[in-house]
Chain A
Amino acid sequence: DQQVKQNSPSLSVQEGRISILNCDYTNSMFDYFLWYKKYPAEGPTFLISISSIKDKNEDGRFTVFLNKSAKHLSLHIVPSQPGDSAVYFCAATPTYSGGGADGLTFGKGTHLIIQP
């Protein structure tokens, strides 16, 4: 039973346009959400996070939106660049900053391809 779902295995976007990656979760105990980016043969690298007390967090070209009532979050990348081509993982945890000991629950990832 997947608690974090990324329903699009891949997404192709033209360079310069907006990339929108979606993530849905089922566990209402999750209150901290993260996006990781992964290149082939490398470990995931942290990109951006959001806690459940916010509905938006922005960092440069990356913005994460959280809709708690819909249990949905999305990552927006604008403008998309060729170096953004990677697999993006959504992750969630029921703990935040000094809370418990849970590992992250990850989605299966979305392969983003930026086309020139």
Chain B
Amino acid sequence: GAGVSQSPSNKVTEKGKDVELRCDPISGHTALYWYRQRLGQGLEFLIYFQGNSAPDKSGLPSDRFSAERTGESVSTLTIQRTQQEDSAVYLCASSFGPGWEQYFGPGTRLTVT
């Protein structure tokens, strides 16, 4: 079966523009997570979706960041008015549910110039 997929794999954007990153989780996984990894840093938790519950947004660094998920499928992470410090690899993961092992996608490398 297919793993977690993310698109685009690479995105270069100018400072101030909006970007949208997409994640397709593994079918049947109810939990979906977004993380980012900035250069030289560990993975930083951003947001968590579980089924139809309200998402846990506690990791979002600012109100420029938002995410949506359609049911238990595709999720999009939107960054408005991008800044250079937003440059990072954005990783999506899914799992059967909270506490289960998370399976990661390959990530989207975002570069803000």
Residues on A lying within 8 angstroms of B by beta carbon are 2, 4, 6, 32, 34, 36, 41-46, 49, 89, 91, 93, 95-109
In the assembled complex, the Cα of A4 lies from the Cα of B42 at a distance in Å of: 9
- B: contact size bracket: 20 to 34
Contact yes or no, A104 B99, CB < 8 A: no
Contact yes or no, A104 B43, CB < 8 A: yes
Task: Specify the chain B residue showing the minimal Cβ separation from A47.
Answer: B101
4 interchain residue pairs of minimum CB distance: A43-B104, A103-B45, A106-B43, A108-B42
Against A, the Cβ 8 Å flags (1 = close, 0 = not) of B79-98 are 00000000000010100011
Other-chain residue from B41, B43, B46, B98 in contact with A44 (beta carbon distance below 8 A):
B43
Contact yes or no, B104 A45, CB < 8 A: yes
Contact yes or no, B106 A44, CB < 8 A: no
B68 adjacent to chain A (CB < 8 Å): no
Residues of A within 8 A of B53 (CB): 101
A100 to nearest B CB, angstroms?
6
In the assembled complex, the Cα of A51 lies from the Cα of B67 at a distance in Å of: 30
B76 adjacent to chain A (CB < 8 Å): no
Residues of B within 8 A of A104 (CB): 33, 35, 43, 45, 102
In the assembled complex, the Cα of A51 lies from the Cα of B112 at a distance in Å of: 39
In the assembled complex, the Cα of A107 lies from the Cα of B47 at a distance in Å of: 18
Contact yes or no, A93 B99, CB < 8 A: yes
Contact yes or no, B106 A103, CB < 8 A: no
Against A, the Cβ 8 Å flags (1 = close, 0 = not) of B41-60 are 11111111010010010010
A74 to nearest B CB, angstroms?
17
Contact yes or no, B98 A99, CB < 8 A: yes
Residues of A within 8 A of B48 (CB): 101-103
Interface centre among B42, B44, B45, B46 (most CB of A within 10 A): B42
Contact yes or no, B105 A97, CB < 8 A: no
